[in-house]
Amino acid sequence: MQKLSLKSLTHWSSVRQLTRLTRFDAARPTWPPAPATRLRALMHLALLGLIALLAVSGGFRFSGRPLKVPGYLPPDSTTQTAAQPRAERPLSLPGILQNRTAGLLAPVAVPHTIIPDREVKVDRIETYVVQPGDTIHGIALDFSLAPETLLWANPRLEDNPDLLMVGDELTILPVDGVYHQVAQDDTLPKIAATFQVEEQTIIDYPLNNIDPENPAVTPGQWLVVPGGEKPYVPKYVSVAHSAAPGGAATGTGTFQWPTNGTITQEYWRGHRALDIAAWMGAPIYAADSGYVVAAQWDDTGYGRMIIVDHGNGFKSLYAHMSVMYVAVGDEVTQGQQLGEMGSSGNSTGPHLHFELILNGVKRNPWGFLP
Partners of residue 309 on adjacent β-strands: 291, 315
Q: What CATH number should be reported for the domain holding residue 267?
A: 2.70.70.10
List alpha helices for the chain, DSSP H.
6-27, 35-57, 136-142, 147-153, 155-158, 188-194, 199-204
Range of the domain at 140: 126-226
In a domain, 64, yes or no: no
Closest C-alpha to 221, from 171, 183, 169: 183
Residues 267 and 359 in one domain: yes
Partners of residue 180 on adjacent β-strands: 223
What integer is the mean pLDDT of 111-120?
A: 38
Residues 196 and 292 in one domain: no
Residues 275 and 208 in one domain: no
Given a cut of 80, whether residue 244 has pLDDT beyond it is: no
Q: Is the separation of the CB atoms in 133 and 349 below 8 Å?
A: yes
Q: Classify strands 169-172 and 96-99 as parallel, antiparallel or unpaired.
A: unpaired
Given a cut of 80, whether residue 120 has pLDDT beyond it is: no
End-of-domain residue from the set 166, 199, 226: 226
Supply the pTM of this predicted model: 0.50
Task: Dump pLDDT digits (tens) for 140-190.
Answer: 989 999 988 998 999 888 877 777 888 999 999 999 999 999 999 999 999
Give the lowest-confidence range in 18-32, 230-244, 344-358: 18-32
Give the lowest-confidence range in 14-28, 246-260, 285-299: 14-28
What percentage of the chain exceeds 70 in pLDDT?
67
Task: Dump pLDDT digits (tens) for 182-223.
Answer: 999 999 999 999 999 999 999 999 999 999 888 889 999 999
The mean pLDDT value of the chain amounts to 75
Q: Cα 174 vs. chain centroid, distance in angstroms?
A: 18
Q: CB under 8 Å to 46, separation ≥6 — which residues?
A: none
Residues 198 and 132 in one domain: yes
* Residue-level pLDDT at 64: 37
* Residue-level pLDDT at 243: 65
Residues 216 and 267 in one domain: no
Q: Where are the beta strands (DSSP E) in the chain?
A: 96-99, 104-107, 126-129, 169-172, 177-181, 222-226, 262-265, 274-277, 283-285, 290-298, 303-309, 314-324, 331-332, 337-341, 351-358, 361-363
Sign of the C-alpha dihedral computed for residues 18, 21, 26 and 31 taken in this order: negative
* Residue-level pLDDT at 34: 63
Q: Is the separation of the CB atoms in 274 and 354 below 8 Å?
A: yes
Q: Cα angle vertex 272, ends 190, 183, to 5°?
A: 20
Q: What CATH number should be reported for the domain holding residue 166?
A: 3.10.350.10
In a domain, 102, yes or no: no
In a domain, 285, yes or no: yes
Residues 222 and 267 in one domain: no
Residues 212 and 285 in one domain: no
In a domain, 156, yes or no: yes
In a domain, 336, yes or no: yes
End-of-domain residue from the set 199, 226, 253: 226
DSSP assigned state of 283:
E
Q: How many other β-carbons are positioned within 10 Å of the β-carbon of residue 256?
A: 14
In a domain, 61, yes or no: no
In a domain, 69, yes or no: no
Task: Dump pLDDT digits (tens) for 21-71.
Answer: 444 444 445 555 566 666 777 777 877 777 777 665 544 443 333 333 333
Per-residue three-class SS string for 7-75: HHHHHHHHHHHHHHHHHHHHHCCCCCCCHHHHHHHHHHHHHHHHHHHHHHHCCCCCCCCCCCCCCCCCC
Partners of residue 104 on adjacent β-strands: 99
Structurally, how many domains does the chain consist of? 2
In a domain, 62, yes or no: no
Q: How far is CA 275 from CA 191, 225, 234, 267, 309, in A?
A: 34, 30, 18, 8, 20
